[in-house]
Amino acid sequence: MDSLRNILVIEDSPLVLKILEHLFRHEPNLQPVFCASLGEAQMMLEASAELFFAAIVDLHLPDAPDGESVDLVMRYGLPCIVLSGSYNEKRRDELLLKGVVDYVLKESQHSYEYAFRLLHRLESNSQVKILVAEDSEATRNFIRHVLVPHRYQIIDACDGEQALRILQAQPDIDMLVVDHSMPGISGFELVKLLRQKMKRSDLVILGLSADTKGSLSAMFIKQGADDFLRKPFCPEELTCRVMFTLERRDMLRALKKAAQFDALTGLNNRRAFYEQGIQQFQQAQRSGHNLSVAMLDMDLFKQINDEYGHAAGDAALIGFSRAFRAAFPDALLGRLGGEEFAMVSPQGAEPLSQALNALREQCRQVKYAVGAPPLSFSAGIYHGVPEDLESLLHLADQQLYEAKRGGRGRTFWQ
């Protein structure tokens, strides 16, 4: 979560409040507003309901012994996470039917942490599109009823063909919940077709089936589904599976991002730069075009660190990278390491050299520490037949070396 979110907490137990306060301390973007009674919460909501993002609500309060606090929060349309000291199946079903987000038992650290995970997901869920491909209208409605309180955007398809059409028209759909037995294209076939072109990181798939055969779940997963639920399932089973598969996808995306991008500057890291650079070289070889490769190195960077501190050095690298990206939005850029950067571009050496000189002027305006000297860099360019990336980088590096020897703050090219 990036912006600050107010969470209404209606709870009277000092012990639970202590635990929640402790957990909120680790959540810089969640601001709790505590109310110890239904009356207090009522006044708070009357005055400023629109300021709240969600509510965590105790089921039993001295002035609301029978879940009246839940009804209050639901009347204001706030996503409601219920805390309860005891488990009661009938009560749980009633609450989920009312449309609360979830029912969390006050039993362990883990269950409180789960409530916080729910709060985090509520924020991101509003951006998550789920397509439900299921021929039974009752099941589609049930799934919608269970998932909407979690703020997911739900889209319906009543068979495989319609699901395919919707996925084609809306490539930003995040998840497909798909029944196995549908008229026309079955769930299995649909998953098989989709997995030929869509990776797990692009579309998460949750299979459903009423079949009692144990092997079905394995078959669904082998076709490329990420998880499986046997019908009939209870609401929490569905919300937990949906949440876990999305969390897994997000983790995978974060890992991929960390493996590709340099954490400080957000530019491609060395490995990603080489991988993409090699592809560009192969393309240029096939089409018979020359390519330019540039090597850039910040000038006297050690002095910046030594005189203004490492944080100032980091700020300088970030400021430089932003200007670099803005100056060459279409070129392949990378941070090769330390204060060394590289670029692959189809531009000729001379226009590239002029663009780098313009970037050098812009770098003089980058503010990175009070009283620090203007940022400067040296660069070397080599333009030629794309034999291989490594040797062109080496030739560009030789030009960079000459630029440094020539007094820094300049671009040499060949």
Ligand X SMILES: Nc1nc2c(ncn2[C@@H]2O[C@H](COP(=O)(O)OP(=O)(O)OP(=O)(O)O)[C@@H](O)[C@H]2O)c(=O)[nH]1
Any idea which residue has 């959540």 for tokens? 27
Q: Does 302 bind ligand X (CB under 6 A)?
A: yes
Q: Does 299 bind ligand X (CB under 6 A)?
A: yes
Specify whether the CB–CB gap between 35 and 44 falls below 8 A.
yes
- Return the range that interacts with ligand X (CB under 6 A); candidates 82-90, 92-100, 288-296, 307-315: 307-315
Exactly one of 314, 325, 327, 398 binds ligand X (CB under 6 A); which one? 314
Distance CA 21, CA 279 (A): 52
CB of 46 to ligand X, least distance (A): 52
Closest CA to 83 of 50, 118, 49, 51: 118
Q: Does 300 bind ligand X (CB under 6 A)?
A: yes
Dihedrals φ, ψ of 47, to 5°?
-80, -40
Residue 289 or residue 405: which is nearer to ligand X going by CB? Answer: 405
Q: 80-84 and 30-35: which strand pairing?
A: unpaired
Q: Does 376 bind ligand X (CB under 6 A)?
A: no
Q: Does 305 bind ligand X (CB under 6 A)?
A: yes
CB of 292 to ligand X, least distance (A): 22
Q: Does 258 bind ligand X (CB under 6 A)?
A: no
- For the packed helices 68-75 and 89-98, what is the interaxial angle rounded to 10 degrees? 10
Q: Which two tokens stand for residue 221?
A: 């997963």
Tell me, what amino acid is at 232? P
Q: Does 297 bind ligand X (CB under 6 A)?
A: yes
Residue 274 to residues 259, 344, 387: CA-CA distances in angstroms?
13, 10, 14
Exactly one of 246, 291, 298, 344 binds ligand X (CB under 6 A); which one? 298
CB of 261 to ligand X, least distance (A): 14
Q: Does 404 bind ligand X (CB under 6 A)?
A: yes
- Return the range that interacts with ligand X (CB under 6 A); candidates 34-42, 279-287, 291-299, 387-395: 291-299
Instruction: Considering only residues 333 through 362, tell me which ones interact with ligand X, judged by CB under 6 A.
Output: 338-339
- Return the range that interacts with ligand X (CB under 6 A); candidates 174-182, 300-308, 326-334, 341-349: 300-308
Q: Does 266 bind ligand X (CB under 6 A)?
A: no
Mention every residue, 6+ apart, whose C-beta is less than 8 A from residue 260.
268, 269, 271, 272
Q: H/E element holding 257?
A: helix 235-260
Q: Does 405 bind ligand X (CB under 6 A)?
A: no
Give CA angle at 315 (311, 298), nearest 5°. Answer: 105
- Return the range that interacts with ligand X (CB under 6 A); candidates 12-20, 132-140, 211-219, 295-303: 295-303
Distance CA 410, CA 102 (A): 62
**What residues make contact with ligand X under the rule CB under 6 A?**
264, 297-302, 305, 310, 313-314, 317, 338-339, 404, 408
